[in-house]
Each structure stands twice: as C-alpha cells, then as structure tokens.
A and B are shown apart, each in its own frame.
Chain A
Amino acid sequence: MKIDMRIKIAGITFDNPVWTASGTFGYGQEFEGLVDLNKVGAIVAKTVTLNARDGNPAPRVVETPSGMLNSIGLENKGIDYFKKTGLSFMKKFRTKAIASIAGSTEEEFIKCAEIMSKDETPDAIEVNLSCPNVHHSAGKYKLFAQDPELIERLVGEIKKVSKVPVIVKLTPNVTDITETAKAAEEGGADAVSLVNTYLGMAVDAETMKPLLGNVVGGLSGPAIKPIALRAVREVYKSISIPIIGIGGIMSGLDVAEFMLCGARAVQVGTANFVDPSGIENIIKEFEEYLERKNIKNAEDIIGKLKV
C-alpha cells in the first residue's frame, strides 16, 4: 500500500508531518552526513534574535530521568548571520525551511518578522514567544506566551508584516494553555506549536548547588510526553487552526500518539541529541504504523483518538 505522508498547513504541503524542533537541529548543517535532510518534513531552525546573544552561563544542559534540562538562553549570532548562512543552507533542500524568531520586546519580534520577509524568505516563521530561559521585561508575565492579551496583539502585528505563514510556539508554563492558544488564533496565527519546555531544575545535594548555571531551565525529552499529549488534546478541542505537537517524541508511535490527539504535524527535539540520525527512522516507523493500521493518508489520523 502506498502511504501518502503529506500534510498541509497554511497552504503549504509538507512531504511528511515529522519536523525538527527549534534549538535541537541547529540550521541543519550540523546534521549533514548524519541525516538525509531531504527526507525531513521541515527543519525548524534554532531561534534567532535581532542582535547576537551569548546565552546563559555554563553548565547549560543537565540530564534528568528520561529527560534533560537546558538553559542555553537563545545563544545565536543574530538574524543577519542566520539569513546569510543558515537560511541559504536550508533552502538548498526540498525540505521546508522554517525560521524561528524571538525578541525581548514586541518591536524586536516585529522587526525580526520584517527582516525574514525581505529577500530570501523561509517557508514559514515560528514565533518563539515561549523560551523559558529569557525573561521578557515588560508586563506582569515573565514570558510573552503567558499573556493572552499580548499574544493576540503581537501575533496581529507580526501577521501584518510577515509575507509567510506564522506559527506561534506556546509555553506549557501556564494555568490554561487553551487560553493562550485561543489568543494566538484570535491574533491571526496560521498554526500553533506546543509545547515548549517545562520549567524545572536539578540540584546536587552533595555540593548543595543547582546543576544549571542559570539555576532553572527547560525540561524536555520523553519525561514530558504525557503532559504534552494532554496539552495538545486540550488545545485541539479549543481552536480550529493546525497544531504542531512537540514533547519527547522518540519513535514513530510517538508521532502517531500526538497526531491522534490532534496534531497535524510534530517536531522532534531531544531525540536529535540522542540519535543524530534517528529522525529518518522515526519517519519510517510512522509510515509503517500507518501501513499496519491500513491508513492511506497521514492526515486521516489527526484527532482520531477513540475516547
């Protein structure tokens, strides 16, 4: 049986629903020779900001049970460097190229979206409103993605200047993620991606010190999959724009689980660190799952959880 793995989001057809998550795949260059980059559904680049950032003090990563904490702090060489090097590299492949942008002010986000829309453009942008390692100073919330009013307003502004579809990446560090997802939809987002990492920390009782230089960081990996699945399902019931599911995906069955809960595509993150060539296998396993289940089109399982 020939399986149609293609999925559509915001008018773009992706070869398959398995993408790489921002911050876990560089701009793809690091994986050349390890992964056939043409086989990935999309590459979501590491987040860029208007100006270069050095990131947080070391240690920046630490392992936890079935997961890891990171506090990189959006280290990057700035948006211009990305457009010249990373984006032009990503555009060489048939795989869709998605840029990820962030800022410490609303103006910086809008400026980044404008720059992305000039000259060579990515196929879409993911707006990283939710990096837990960077504090957005203004307002009563630490993260933009915790403030529904701000999300709606900022997404609206970004939509005005962006020539490409806008995906809004949401944080799970909220009381009710459906509220922030609705705000993104109201603002005009083409899709939402969730979840970003959960805030957490690790402590060394012997030295009585935190294990991360930044004290707290974002938890990712298989440890968060159950809570991410629940978030995707709740959001799926609340909004009508596409959802890209993220959280501890390590296998083809994990992809199926997220799609059954309502994700139209997924992003593989921490798994890229464990098995840098593994994403191709995840895609293959998902295809085999569909074949075994007699499902001809990947799109046919979206939200088909039997409850």
Chain B
Amino acid sequence: MEKRREKRTVRGIITSNKKIAENLFLMTIKEKWLVTKSKAGQFVNVKVAENSTDPLLRIPLGIHQIKKEGISLLYKVVGRGTKILSSKQAKGSIDVLGPLGTPFDISNTDKNTMVIVISGGHGLAPLFALSEELRRKKHHVEFFMGARTGEHLVRDKELKKIGVIVHKVTDDGSCGFKGCVTDAVEKVLAAQGKKYAKKQIFACGPLPMIKAVAAIAAREKIPAQVTRDEYMACGIGACRGCAVRTKEGIKLACTDGPVFDAAILEW
C-alpha cells in the first residue's frame, strides 16, 4: 500500500514561463506550501483552463526544482493542454494540486555510491530536483542526458554548475555520444564501474528507455528506481486509470509511483 501523503489544491503565482528549447518550457511558480512538502520524484497536477470544461482534466507534471520561494516545472508541449499552459504569462496565477506521488528514495546512497542518473527527453524534469538533492549531500552524480539533437539538450550547464558529471547523448550525434542513452551508460559502466563498490540508478524517460535501463540494472545487479508515466485523470488514486503491472500486482503510477523499483515492473 502506498503511504498517504498530504496534498492540497493551492494557487501559485507564475513568476516565469519560458521556452528553453523546441517545444520545451520552464515554468516557475511561487507557492510556499508546495516548497515545504515537495520531494524530488513527486509531481503536481495543474489546471490549464479555469472556468472552462475544455480542456477538462488537469495535467500531471514532474517537479523540476524545489526552491526557496516556489517550484519549477519543465514540460514539453504535446497537446492542447500543454499548448495553453505554454501561453500563460508571468504574474498570472495557476491552480496546482500536489505534491502527488511517491518520491525517489535516496536513503541507500552515500558519498561512496556511483549515482547513475539517466534521462530521456523531458524525462529530465524530476531528475534535476533529485540531482540537486544528491549534490547537497555531496554525492557523486553521473547524469546521462539523452535527447534527439544537441538543440534539445537543456539544463546541462546548470547541472554542471552544481558539480554533476554530465554525459550528453544525442540520437543524431550532434552533441556528445551518438546513440541511445543506455548505450552510453553501458560504456561508462564498463570503463569505470569497478571503481565503485556501490551503485544506484535513477531514471526517467520514455518506456523503451525505461525497459532498457531495467535490463541493464538487472544484469549488472544495480538497484534502480525508474518512473512510469501513464495517462491519469485524477492523480490521487481514485480513477485507477494509471495502472502499472508489477510482480506485486496492479499498482498506480500516481500514488504507488511514479517512482518504482525497476525489479518489480512487468512490461
């Protein structure tokens, strides 16, 4: 059973909403309660249209940063809802339900752990907050950032600034390693893996990438926490839309997840 966590609908003030790459936006929201409750790996459900029934449902977005005054969200414009979200102006307000879901568990990592963080596309959203948290504890973080092209690689400089080792990977080779992000992980693991007695993987990205990460983790016997992104209506466990098949039975991406132990997932 998932732990019941405190959640609320709150009204935040949008302090900025900027395009940072093709179809990728970064929104910062000033709202103090969310700051005190949010943890890396959790998400919020934002309302894009108020006093309107179309779009109807909220949009679930991973928490990208947890700062002093508020949180930030990194999102990709994929449909009508996110398109409307991207047009919102600074100083406007936004209705946010959260924080939702179960966060990453970093209780088993320490300064001697090789922490391998793997993102695919805008899957880097929650991994940024995680990296910040790990770096505050001075942990060794190797971030494998996968994107279509070099132009779609974002936030790498900010990660480097806080001491994260960033491995850039692009589909077309326009920046960094060419190929799948998981190929780059395998290469680095083969070269440097033996230096670390303890390793831990955290990953967020499209399902094929998550599957490949789970396969590497199983083969190399590295514990892995991966996220599952499924269509959901409510985000709080009521609609049961975001079902995930696991060795422990049906679980929900919204409350049991989005972070799961890769070893229990069924595909």
Q: State the A residues within 8 Å of B (CB).
A: 23-26, 29-34, 46, 54-55, 58-63, 65-68, 70, 72, 75, 221-223, 250, 270, 272-277
Query: Considering only CB atoms and an 8 Å cut-off, how many residues of chain B contact the other chain?
Result: 32
Contacts of A31 in B (CB 8 A): 236, 238
Contact residues in A for B236 (Cβ distance below 8 Å): 30-31, 34, 276
B97 contacts chain A at the CB level, 8 A cutoff = yes
Chain A residues near B97 (CB, 8 Å)?
A: 276
Which of B49-57, B84-92, B216-224 lies at the interface with chain A?
A: B49-57
Q: Contact check: which of A58, A68, A75, A277 meets B233 at CB < 8 Å? A: A68
Chain B residues, CB < 8 A from A62? 231
- In whole angstroms, how far apart are the Cα atoms of A24 and B234 in the complex? 9
- In the A-B complex, the 4 residue pairs with the smallest Cβ-Cβ separation, listed nearest first, are A61-B241, A273-B234, A273-B233, A59-B231
**For the complex, is B20 an interface residue (Cβ under 8 Å from A)?**
no
Q: How far is A30 from B4 in the complex, measured between Cα atoms in Å?
A: 8
**Is B125 part of the binding interface, using a Cβ–Cβ cutoff of 8 Å?**
no
| Bound-state Cα–Cα, A26 to B236, Å | 10
Interface assignment of B9: CB less than 8 Å from any CB of chain A: yes
CA–CA, A222 to B57, complex, Å? 12
Q: Which chain A positions have C-beta within 8 A of B230?
A: 58-59
The answer to whether B6 touches A70 (Cβ under 8 A) is no
Q: Which secondary structure characterizes the binding site on chain A?
A: loop
**Do B57 and A274 touch (CB < 8 A)?**
yes
Within 8 Å CB of B81, what residues of A? 63
A-B contact pairs, 27 of them (CB 8 A): A24-B239, A26-B237, A26-B238, A30-B234, A30-B238, A32-B4, A33-B6, A54-B250, A58-B243, A60-B231, A60-B241, A61-B232, A61-B233, A63-B57, A63-B81, A66-B53, A66-B54, A66-B56, A68-B56, A68-B57, A72-B241, A272-B238, A273-B58, A274-B47, A274-B58, A275-B9, A276-B9
Q: Cβ of B83 < 8 Å from any Cβ of A?
A: no
B-side contacts of A70, CB under 8 Å: 233, 239, 241
CB distance from B132 to the nearest CB of A (A): 28
Which residue of B4, B56, B234, B250 contacts A63 across the interface (Cβ within 8 Å)?
A: B56
Chain B residues near A (Cβ < 8 Å): 4, 6-9, 47, 53-58, 81, 97, 230-234, 236-245, 249-250, 255
Cα separation A55 to B243 with both chains bound (whole Å): 9
Query: Complex Cα distance A24/B243, Å?
Result: 15
What separation, in Å, do the CA atoms of A38 and B245 have in the docked complex? 34
Q: Tell me the bound Cα distance from A276 to B239 in angstroms.
A: 11
Q: Which residue of A lies closest to B95 (CB)?
A: A275
Contact (Cβ within 8 A) A60 B57: no
Smallest Cβ distance from B16 to chain A, in angstroms?
Answer: 26
**Contact in complex: B240, A60 (CB < 8 Å):** yes
Chain A residues lying within 8 Å of B9, measured Cβ to Cβ, are 34, 275-277
Nearest A residue to B58 via CB reads: A274
Q: Which residue of A lies closest to B237 (CB)?
A: A30
Q: How far is B81's CA from A62's CA once the two chains are assembled, in angstroms?
A: 13
Q: Establish whether residues B55 and A63, one from each chain, have CB atoms under 8 Å apart when the complex forms.
A: yes
Contact of A272 with B234 at beta-carbon distance under 8 Å, contacts A32-B4, A58-B242, A60-B243 already known: yes
Once the chains bind, are B231 and A273 in contact (CB under 8 Å)? no
With both chains docked as a complex, state the minimum distance between the C-beta of A285 and any C-beta of chain B, in angstroms.
14
Question: Is the CB–CB distance between A55 and B56 below 8 Å?
Answer: no
Task: Give the docked Cα–Cα distance between A273 and B254 (Å).
Answer: 13
Q: Which residue of A lies closest to B6 (CB)?
A: A33
Q: Is the CB of A55 within 8 A of B238?
A: no
How far, in angstroms, from A72 to B234 measured CA to CA in the complex?
13
* Chain B residues whose CB sits within 8 angstroms of the CB of A221 once the complex forms: 53, 56
Nearest-Cβ distance from residue B28 to partner chain A, whole angstroms:
24
> Smallest CB–CB gap between A66 and chain B, Å?
4
Determine the chain A residues whose CB is within 8 A of the CB of B241 once the complex forms. 59-61, 70, 72
Look across to chain B and name the residue whose beta carbon is closest to the beta carbon of A72: B240
Please give 18 more A-B residue pairs, beta carbons under 8 A apart, in addition to A58-B242, A68-B233, A270-B56: A23-B240, A32-B4, A55-B240, A58-B230, A58-B243, A61-B231, A61-B242, A66-B56, A67-B56, A72-B241, A72-B243, A75-B243, A221-B56, A250-B53, A272-B234, A274-B58, A275-B9, A276-B238
How many Å lie between the Cα of A88 and that of B118 in the bound state? Answer: 43
User: Contact partner of A24 among B55, B238, B255, CB < 8 A?
Assistant: B238
Q: Are A274 and B56 in contact (CB under 8 A)?
A: yes
Contact A58 B231 (CB under 8 A): yes
- Closest Cβ of chain B to A222, distance in Å, is 4
Expressed in whole angstroms, the Cα–Cα distance for A274 and B249 within the complex equals 27
State the CA gap A29–B237 with chains docked (Å).
Answer: 9
**A279 → B minimal CB distance (Å):** 12
In the complex, the chain A residue whose C-beta lies closest to that of B250 is A54
Q: How far is the CA of A205 from the CA of B247 in the complex (A)?
A: 34
**Distance in angstroms between the alpha carbons of A82 and B81 in the assembled complex:** 36
* Contact status B231-A55, CB under 8 Å: no
Contact of B7 among A33, A55, A250 (CB under 8 A): A33
CA distance A149 to B207 in the complex (A): 47
Q: Which chain A residues lie closer than 8 Å to B249 at the CB level?
A: 54
